């Protein structure tokens, strides 16, 4: 143990005397082998102790949350639409060119309600295959989401909207197709309306 400390002390002393020479050699090597050095850095980044690296990153993020939020907000103000563009690219594989082409084929309008779309457009996709169906406004996309892309439910909702207000109170159950009526509030009896 004592010998190890002597060796370390001698190495530190030698480095202190030859620091400039060592730095020059390292710099020359890095300049001559830039690609190799970059590849080694990428390969070893965080791999020596991934748990420790992840913990360090989490701790730094928690300690600097306000700073991160401020930088993110400033970036998004300087570059509006970039976050949405990357989301569309990563989640749906839509490049900016493909998005622009799809928007042009829809005439710049929502595929359902035909209102003009802006940078906050939503990508409608099949949740099973992840295939893109079109671009929608937020309201139409939420509406489809609430109906869980179920055509039978959407048809029932459309049929419901065509009924006169008084008949809308009479619902047909799916299981036995018998009429089920609801009494007005405050009434103790159930009557067919």
Q: What is the DSSP string of 130-150?
A: --EEEEE-HHHHHHHHHTTT-
Are 108 and 101 in contact, with CB atoms under 8 Å apart?
no
Cα distance between the two ends of the chain:
96
Pairing of strands 132-136, 171-172: unpaired
At 1, the pLDDT band (50, 70, 90 cuts) reads low
Tell me, what DSSP letter sits at residue 109?
B
Pick the residue with more confidence: 129 or 42? 129
Predicted TM-score (pTM) of this structure: 0.52
Share of the chain above pLDDT 70, in %: 85
Domain 70-146 has CATH 3.40.1800.10: yes
With contact defined as beta carbons under 8 Å apart, do 149 and 157 qualify? no
134-157 per-position pLDDT tens digit: 999 999 999 998 998 899 999 999
Question: Per-residue DSSP letters for 29-90?
Answer: HHHHTHHHHHHHHHHHTTTSSHHHHHHHHHHHHHHTHHHHHHHHHHHHHHSTTHHHHHHHHH
Q: By CB neighbour count within 10 A (0-12 exposed, 13-18 middle, 19+ buried), where does 110 fall? A: buried
Dist CA 170 CA 177 (whole Å): 12
- Per-residue pLDDT, 168: 55
Q: What is the mean pLDDT of residues 128-138?
A: 92
Domain boundaries, the chain: 70-146, 151-180
């Amino acid at each position: 143990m004592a010998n190890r400390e002597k060796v370390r002390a001698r190495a530190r002393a030698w480095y202190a005397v030859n620091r400039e020479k060592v730095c020059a050699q390292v710099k020359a090597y890095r300049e001559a082998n830039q690609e190799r050095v970059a590849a080694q850095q990428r390969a070893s980044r965080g791999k020596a102790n991934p748990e420790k690296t992840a913990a360090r990153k989490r701790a730094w993020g928690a300690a600097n949350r306000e700073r991160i939020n401020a930088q993110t907000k400033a970036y998004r103000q300087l570059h509006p639409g970039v976050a949405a563009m990357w989301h569309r690219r990563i989640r749906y594989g839509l490049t900016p060119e493909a998005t622009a082409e799809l928007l042009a084929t829809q005439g710049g309008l929502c595929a359902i309600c035909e209102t003009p779309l802006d940078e906050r457009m939503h990508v409608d996709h099949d949740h099973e295959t992840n295939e893109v169906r079109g671009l929608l406004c937020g309201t139409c996309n939420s509406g489809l989401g609430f109906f869980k892309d179920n055509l039978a439910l959407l048809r029932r909702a459309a049929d419901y909207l065509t009924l006169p207000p008084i008949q809308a109170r009479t619902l047909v159950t799916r299981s036995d197709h018998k009429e089920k009526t609801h009494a007005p509030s405050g009434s103790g009896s159930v009557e067919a309306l």
